[in-house]
Chains A and B, each alone.
Chain A
Amino acid sequence: MTDRAPVIMIDGDLPTAASRAGTGRRAPAAGPGRVPLALALPAAAGLAFLVLPLVGLLARTPWSQLPARLAAPGVVDALRLSLVTATAATAVSVVLGVPLAWVLARRTFPGRRLVRALVTLPLVLPPVVGGVALLLVFGRRGLLGGWLASTFGVTVPFSTTAVVLAETFVAMPFLVISVEGALRAADARYEEAAATLGATPWTAFRRVTLPLVTPGLVAGAVLCWARALGEFGATITFAGNFPGRTQTMPLAVYLALESDPAAAIVLSLLLLAVSVAILAGLRERWISTP
């Protein structure tokens, strides 16, 4: 070895939503090259900090019992419920969150700062508190729940719908923030150009704005989905815990931890494996650089 400093190669970095938001300008592409030591050391430490707990999980996994554990009753139910509810919560977040992000990014109105702060509130609110708050709204004696029950005979808590609501509450801010950032980075004059071509604001949004922010939207939806998948506190408080109906993987993991830590590790591992597989697949399709 000569006197060269250690060289670390980093390839195919994930582009940020903003740099690909269709402004026509592009950030310089990531490429191979020397990483300064002052960045390499903390980067390596950060990576180790994030990865080591995973290593700990893998080290404690009872590999020999794995097939039997995975075949245990309820495991598949919990996984299926987790995937279904996280996907539904992401869909709800997209339908409600994208218009919200557009309003925040494109319109000025009194109290916009306050609205933005309120949107990010679920990020700082302990999820358990979020669950209680949802009960106070949708519960039997809640602000809306009482009316829903008396008018339609619908009770939300302890249902799969409640799981979706809890996950949406906690995960939607990730989508809104991501899409709003992408919208801010995208040139609003494209919408003006569309208007001069006869596009109504809705057409301009659908045919111009949305395609421009697609990378940001996908990134936000992925974050949202991942957050929904891992949701625990708001779910167990608002939706309760019942196998097949409201017991998602994180709830199953938590309860397994009470009685059978090895089972909890297996469940966690399964959740991780499935989500990593899905995220990697999505990234291949949507997020990676062409």
Chain B
Amino acid sequence: MRHLRTGTVAGAVALVLTGAGCAEHRATGSASQPTGSVTVLAAASLTESFTRIGKDFERAHPGVHVTFSFGGSSTLAQQITAGAPADVFASASPSTMKQVTDTGLAARTPSVFTRNQLVIAVPKGNPKRITGLADLAAPGVKVALCAPAVPCGAAAGTVLDAAHVTLTPVTLEQDVKAALTKVRLGEVDAALVYRTDARAVASQVDGVEFAQSASAVNDYLVVALRNSPNPTGAEAFADYVRSAAAEAVLTGAGFQRP
């Protein structure tokens, strides 16, 4: 794209204009003002907040376009180590971030920008009257947890240990949204999910807070990636995520200040 010669065929010119425009932004991206497009790989639990933050960022920096790819943190980390073209990575756990830093793909040291902790998600109105972790072990209460291999599952294990509660869940879901879905469909009576996830579907689900949640606070980290095609844009977005404006959006969604 960068080696375009003068177009000879009108159609060809029209066709390459968008691509050429993109290349041009990136070529001039060495200036201090961010331009061009920024591709952000972010943990699924950030979906609602980051979509808003991205719009705010674009408004603050006209000419910049932010594209998101939301997914499980470990899946995204694997995509990055496999060479996926991306500018910024926001993970939901230090361990998944570590996969990226270990392979030398982070441009600098990642920083914690927000925190999340668990609540007990119950169907609207809390029909089983669940008030704490101990209630989850009661007979006849069906509980969905995340699998221990994924961050929300590890956190669930920690808080249950802290509460000295032993329970047998009916299912170990592959991610927090899947666990929440089981509550929304009414197939389980409770699930341990992040507060932000419960709040995002507040019309169907109530979040029951419990004391032991403080024992498993989940740190979210963000970093600009080393192989970013748009380093200025990447740094600008990673900085913006740590700004007061972004923090307001995050806390509004149920996240906690780091």
Chain A residues near B (Cβ < 8 Å): 132, 135-136, 139-141, 157-158, 236-237, 239-243, 246-247, 251, 254-261
Contact = CB atoms under 8 A, between A and B. Distances in A.
A140 B187 contact: yes
Contacts of A243: 172
Contact of B171 (A132, A141, A242): A242
B178 interface: yes
Nearest to B175: A258
Contacts of B170: 157-158, 240, 242
Given A255-B147, A259-B149, A241 B186 contact: no
Given A158-B142, A255-B149, A140 B186 contact: yes
A129 B173 CA distance: 16
B186 A139 contact: yes
9 contacts: A140-B187, A158-B170, A236-B178, A239-B171, A242-B170, A255-B149, A255-B174, A257-B75, A258-B75
B132 interface: no
B144 interface: yes
Contact of B169 (A132, A242, A254, A259): A242
Contacts of A242: 169-172
A139 B185 contact: yes
B78 interface: yes
Contacts of B147: 241, 255, 258
Contacts of B187: 135, 139-141, 157-158
Determine which residue in A237, A246, A255, A256 has the highest number of CB atoms from chain B within 10 A of its CB, and name it: A255
Contacts of A237: 178, 181
Contacts of B217: none
A196 B1 CA distance: 76
B174 A141 contact: no
B174 A258 contact: yes
A254 B171 contact: no
A141 B178 contact: no
